Amino acid sequence: VKTGREQEGMMAEAEPEGEKLVALTFDDGPHKGSTERLLAGLKEREVKATFFLIGSSIEGEEELVEQMAQDGHLIGSHTFHHVQLTSLSLEEACGEIIQTNEAITEVTGQTVEYIRPPYGSWNSRLECAVNMREVGWTVDPRDWDVKNTETIVKRVLGDVKDGSIILLHDVYDTSVEAAFQIIDELKAQGYTFVTVDRLLID
């Protein structure tokens, strides 16, 4: 995969020629139970992932968010109330984004740079208002809809290729179990799992 850095003509670090990269992204957490199991399984497999958190779900689950940061996962925003940003006034939309960033930063001490807008609803108007990078996806097994581990795994493995960004939701145990099977299979196929920032091209 060509990373942004490679495109700029600089040497890529620790990315041998021909390495296949893939990013697992998890929306809608943190969620008691399922997110905890996911973090344990990712750690066991030494995989870094990306989490797009709902701001209003952080209160009471601060330990999970702290653990994410400690384990080296990338943490982004998924708005405070899981709203469709383009249907709000600019002021309301910015409020959703800022409130979430503050909730994450309060726990992790890290600045939040990436956002996955719910429903993929984003426009350039919002970029003017907040300095954040929008992150989409390329592989969507609709895990929230099927809630069936086997189907999720089959859909992802059928669609995945070098540079894929896989969309899952860590609020379902079926998705967490699917993530583990996807990791084990793709590792066997020679894939390396990276946080999504490594796959974004300017």
Residues in the chain: 202
Give the range of 15-23, 27-35, 96-104, 155-163 binding Zn ion by CB under 5 A: 27-35
**Which among 27, 28, 143, 170 is annotated as catalytic?**
27
Q: Name the DSSP letter for residue 60.
A: T
- The residue type found at 72 is G
Residues 3, 22, 27, 155: which binds Zn ion (CB under 5 A)?
A: 27
- Residue 173 host element (H or E): helix 173-188
**64 contact partners, CB below 8 Å, separation of at least 6:** 29, 30, 32, 35, 36, 39
Torsion of CA 24, 76, 61, 110, to 10 degrees: 120
Closest contact distance (angstroms) between CB of 29 and Zn ion is: 10
Q: Give CA–CA dist 20/98, Å, rounded.
A: 35
169 catalytic residue (yes or no): yes
Strand stretches in the chain, DSSP E = 20-27, 50-53, 74-77, 114-115, 133-134, 164-169, 191-193
Give the whole-angstrom CA distance, residue 194 versus residue 87.
32
Q: Applying CB under 5 A, which part among 19-27, 132-140, 156-164, 177-185 lies near Zn ion? A: 19-27
Per annotation, catalytic residue among 28, 73, 169, 170: 169
| Nearest-approach distance from CB 27 to Zn ion, in angstroms | 4
Shorter beta-carbon distance to Zn ion: residue 51 or 191: 51
Site mask, Zn ion, residues 37-76, x = CB under 5 A? ----------------------------------------
Least Å from the CB of residue 44 to Zn ion: 26
Q: Is 156 left (phi over 0), alpha (psi -120 to 50) or beta?
A: alpha
CB of 81 to Zn ion, least distance (A): 11
28 binds Zn ion (CB under 5 A): yes
Measured from each CB, the residue nearest to Zn ion is: 27
Over the window 89 to 118, marking each residue x when it contacts Zn ion by CB under 5 A and - when it does not, the resulting string is -----------------------------x
Catalytic residue status for 162: no
Which residues in this chain contact Zn ion in the complex, by CB under 5 A? 27-28, 118
Active site residues per annotation: 27, 169
